[in-house]
Amino acid sequence: MNPELLLDVREARALGVLIEKELSTPDQYPLTLNAATNGANQKNNRDPVLELSEHEIDASLRKMIVKGLVGSVHPVGSRVEKFRHNAATLLAIEKPQLAVLAELLLRGPQQPGELRGRASRMAPIESLAALAEVLAPMLEAGLVVRLDPSPGSRAERYAHTLSGAVAARAPAVAPPVQVAPPPPAPVADPVASARAETVEKRVEELEFHVSRLRRQLDNLAWRLGEKLEG
């Protein structure tokens, strides 16, 4: 996998949402920032369930725009910026592979039966044999890897590699070992901790407002037929 395309957890969730919504609810696609955030935080068809803020999803989408995996558009008659993915073109995969990739991005490593059932809501995959045919080019291209069964299971699993080796690594079961108790943790300074937390929150708020102002300027420039530099 090209290191420049590697995704963190938030980016992987946002890309999975864009693919999922395009295939399952095309009339609502491309997605607004609000819709992408709501999709990322869904309680169903997500593992793990996350609570991401709008500015976290916005930052993730901007990063993927730089990587070429996502694009932003301003539909005719709309002032709201919307987002679409470029995964099919950039990764050279078809609709069934997109559905499988979306499920792996949204739920992590899965057994063939789980993966087929879940991906079938977005693209027809009639049998496990059909799933094997869908996975074959993805395995060959290195987009997906086959993992050993989980402890207590006999079925192999599959994982995407867009987040690097971490997404492709099977959970290891280590034998119990005796270790000495750790030394007592130093007592944190509550005043310094509170100050650091306040600064961090303020920085996040400022980044969000800057991003929002940028979108508004882009929209204004678009309406005036101009293009902002930088």
Domain extents for the chain?
A: 3-168, 195-230
Average pLDDT over residues 179-183: 58
For residues 138 and 154, what is the distance between their CA atoms, to the nearest angstrom? 22
Fold of the 3-168 domain: Arc Repressor Mutant, subunit A (1.10.10)
The residue type at 120: S
In Å, what is the CA distance from 115 to each residue of 15, 108, 110, 124, 139? 18, 10, 6, 12, 15
Q: Which position has the higher pLDDT, 213 or 92?
A: 92
- pLDDT of 38 strictly over 90: yes
Query: What's the angle, vertex CA 225, arms to CA 63 and CA 73, rounded to 5?
Result: 35
Lowest mean pLDDT among 33-42, 91-100, 189-198: 189-198
